[in-house]
């Protein structure tokens, strides 16, 4: 009897995860994509609607020029090529929040293609990171489409037995940004989303607010044996509502698929939902039941032409993007990459920092104070930097006071504590106080009386004969000891520049 050679069994480490993301971003235009209804979150249900966005027969869509410009600007910021001609298409499916029975989207001729985002990773990592610790994630396409309405399952009188529909959101302009299957872990997906959101926010075309649904993400996940070119069967995890949950959902899904295959099963193509409370994904529907959307060109809209001239106009409105800005700030202000990363987290913050740094005597000190004094206090108070009681102008002012020796580092810390004291005590979101106000009121007593300082320096020198001997024998680092003693004797209130000068003179 012939025995068949059994292939070596695969282990968990033999599998490579593959992830591609589809991100929907709502554009912040004043009006909707095909009608003049207000494009506004939070209005009374069904108040921003008209025959066009309600999908009444016979109504005609008219494309919003601003929506095209916003979409093209986002595409350019994501390094995509904008097609001169793109085509709107009907994507047909039934859903209660889709009164027309189809969604106007783009299909085989999208607005833009061939983009990329560079994400940070460990240098030369196994998944394609380069020597500088960056990995380029491809963007397949960016297309325009309209949003659907919203089904409401709770929050009104008979919501236990009924679902209500709010159609304010129908016709909100969206861009869908589809990545190549270049991501290899939940962490990489998280990094990609963070960079993507940051770039979108810099362009100003969206507020990127996940709670309000302005940014939504579907994650496609598969695994394959390492070395295999062909992609494995994917599961699509729908509508995860925070980047952290996307990371968790992907990590869970990778494990689930590997376990399934190792146990002799096969992954089926399906849509899954993530339950963040349980940290698991659940099957929602299989692709077999999924729709054939019967796409066809939208007969009520002409092909969209964004010619070279219009593209150039749009491109001229591109702001400096986060990555370029970080590099420039490192060069211009002598700050670290890490400082620059924190200080460019939003465009407003970066603007504020730059104006503070330009106004201050020493930009590096401004950056250090942001990192050293501000960030920790913000974190402890649970605040974003945009909500900081101490403004960037306040940080610049404090930096100059220290720079000029008008206050000590210890006094600065105390002043920052006072600025934040209101925040810690308030339960109703009181904002604390800015630095200038606190400084004017507290005006810390800086000991700048040279006679008094000389007296204290004399006392310290008399009390430290051994250290004086060491200093005079050439151990100049003892200087710090003497300055420290004087500062201690004055509870940190002596003018550090004067102390240095006097100690140096007396010992020298």
Min. distance of Cβ 17 from ligand ADP in angstroms?
8
Choice between 61 and 432, CB closer to Zn ion: 61
Q: How far apart are CA 41 and CA 26, in angstroms?
A: 11
Work out the widest C-alpha separation in the chain, in whole angstroms.
106
Q: Give whichever of 50 and 436 is closer to Zn ion, judged by the CB atom.
A: 50
Our finding on whether 220 is near ligand ADP (CB under 6 A) is yes
Is the distance from CB of 233 to CB of 272 less than 8 angstroms? no
Q: Which of the ranges 46-54, 178-186, 341-349, 387-395 carries the binding residues for ligand ADP, by CB under 6 A?
A: 178-186
DSSP state of 385: G
CA dihedral of 367, 372, 373, 378, whole degrees rounded to 10 = 100
Select 218 or 248, whichever has its Cβ closest to ligand ADP. 218
Binding mask 229-248 for ligand ADP (x = CB under 6 A): --xx-x--------------
d(CA 447, CA 494): 4
362 phi and psi, to 5 degrees? -140, 100
The token duo for 188 is 């990489």
Q: Does 106 bind ligand ADP (CB under 6 A)?
A: no
> Could you say whether residue 22 binds ligand ADP (CB under 6 A)?
yes
- HSE at residue 226, side-chain half, CA atoms within 13 A, is 10
Among ligand ADP, Zn ion, none, the one that 486 touches (CB under a kind-dependent 5 to 8 A) is none
Binding site partner of 405, from Zn ion, ligand ADP, none, Cβ cut-off 5-8 A by kind: none
- Name the residue nearer to Zn ion (CB basis): 63 or 330: 63
Length of the chain: 508
Structure tokens at 270: 């399906």
CA-to-CA separations, 494 to 17, 396, 449, 458, 482, in angstroms, rounded: 60, 22, 9, 14, 13
| Binding partner at 179 among Zn ion, ligand ADP, none, C-beta below 5 to 8 Å by kind | ligand ADP
Q: Does 19 bind ligand ADP (CB under 6 A)?
A: yes
CB of 231 or CB of 380, closer to ligand ADP: 231
Strand, helix or coil at 338?
A: helix
Report the relative pairing of strands 164-166 and 112-120 from DSSP bridges.
unpaired
CA 69/CA 434 separation, integer angstroms: 39
Please count the residues of this chain forming the interface with Zn ion, following the rule CB under 5 A.
Answer: 5
With CB under 6 A as the contact rule, the residue among 15, 21, 88, 306 that binds ligand ADP is 21
- Least separation in angstroms between residue 188's CB and ligand ADP is 13
Question: Which one, 37 or 76, has the nearer CB to Zn ion?
Answer: 37
Tokens, residue 24: 């929907």
Q: Which of residues 180-209 bind ligand ADP (CB under 6 A)?
A: 180-181
Q: Which of these segments, 217-225, 404-412, 446-454, 476-484, binds ligand ADP (CB under 6 A)?
A: 217-225
Does 16 help bind ligand ADP (rule: CB under 6 A)?
no
Which of the choices Zn ion, ligand ADP, none does residue 220 contact, using the CB cut-off of 5 to 8 A by kind?
Answer: ligand ADP
Minimum distance from CB of 185 to ligand ADP (Å)? 12
Packing angle of the helix pair 347-359, 322-333 (nearest 10 deg): 20
Pick between residue 36 and residue 286 the one whose CB is nearest to Zn ion.
Answer: 36
Contact 68, 112 (CB under 8 A): no
Query: Per-residue x/- marks for Zn ion, 23-52, CB under 5 A?
Result: ------------x-x------------x-x
312: phi then psi, degrees, rounded to nearest 5: -65, -40
* Footprint on this chain of ligand ADP (rule: CB under 6 A): 18-22, 178-181, 220-222, 231-232, 234
């Amino acid at each position: 009897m012939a025995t068949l050679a059994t292939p070596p069994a695969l282990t968990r480490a033999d599998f490579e995860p593959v992830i591609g993301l589809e991100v929907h971003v709502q554009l912040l235009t004043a009006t909707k994509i095909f009608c003049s209804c207000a494009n506004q979150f939070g209005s009374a249900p069904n108040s921003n609607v008209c025959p066009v966005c309600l999908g009444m027969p016979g109504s005609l869509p008219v494309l919003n020029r601003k929506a095209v410009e916003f979409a093209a600007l986002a595409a350019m910021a994501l390094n995509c090529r904008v097609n001169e001609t793109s085509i709107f298409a009907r994507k047909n499916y039934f859903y209660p929040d889709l009164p027309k029975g189809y969604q106007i989207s783009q299909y085989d001729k999208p607005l833009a293609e061939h983009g990329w985002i560079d994400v940070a990773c460990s240098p030369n990592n196994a998944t394609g990171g380069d020597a500088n610790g960056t990995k380029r994630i491809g963007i397949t396409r960016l297309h325009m489409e309209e949003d659907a309405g919203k089904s409401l399952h709770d929050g009104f009188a008979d919501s236990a037995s009924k679902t209500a529909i709010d159609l304010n959101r129908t016709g909100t302009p969206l861009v869908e940004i589809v990545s190549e299957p270049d991501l290899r872990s939940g962490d990489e997906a998280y990094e990609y989303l963070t960079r993507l959101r940051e770039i979108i926010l810099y362009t100003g075309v969206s507020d990127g607010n996940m709670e309000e649904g302005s940014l939504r993400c579907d994650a496609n996940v598969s695994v394959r044996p390492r070395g295999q070119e062909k992609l494995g069967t994917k599961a699509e995890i729908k509508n995860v509502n925070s980047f952290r949950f996307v990371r968790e959902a992907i990590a869970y899904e990778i494990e689930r698929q590997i376990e399934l295959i190792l146990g002799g099963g096969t992954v089926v193509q399906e849509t899954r939902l993530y339950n963040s409370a349980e940290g698991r994904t659940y099957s929602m529907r299989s692709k077999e039941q999924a729709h054939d959307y019967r796409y066809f060109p939208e007969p009520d809209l002409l092909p969209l032409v964004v010619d070279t001239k219009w593209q150039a106009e749009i491109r001229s409105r591109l702001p400096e993007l986060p990555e370029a800005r970080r590099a420039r700030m490192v060069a211009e202000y002598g700050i670290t990459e890490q400082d620059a990363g924190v200080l460019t987290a939003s465009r407003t913050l970066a603007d504020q920092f730059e104006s503070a740094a330009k106004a201050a005597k020493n930009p590096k000190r401004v950056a250090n104070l942001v990192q050293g004094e501000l960030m920790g206090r913000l974190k402890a108070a649970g605040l974003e930097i945009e909500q900081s009681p101490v403004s960037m102008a306040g940080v610049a002012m404090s930096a100059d006071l220290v720079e000029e020796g008008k206050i000590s580092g210890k006094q600065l810390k105390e002043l920052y504590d006072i600025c934040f004291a209101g925040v810690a005590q308030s339960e109703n979101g009181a904002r604390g106080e800015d630095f200038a106000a606190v400084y004017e009121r507290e005006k810390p007593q800086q000991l700048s009386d040279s006679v008094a300082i000389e007296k204290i320096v004399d006392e310290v020198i008399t009390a430290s004969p051994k250290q004086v001997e060491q200093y005079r024998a050439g151990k100049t680092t003892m200087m710090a000891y003497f300055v420290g003693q004087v500062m201690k004797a004055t509870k940190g209130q002596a003018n550090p520049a004067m102390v240095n000068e006097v100690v140096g003179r007396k010992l020298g």
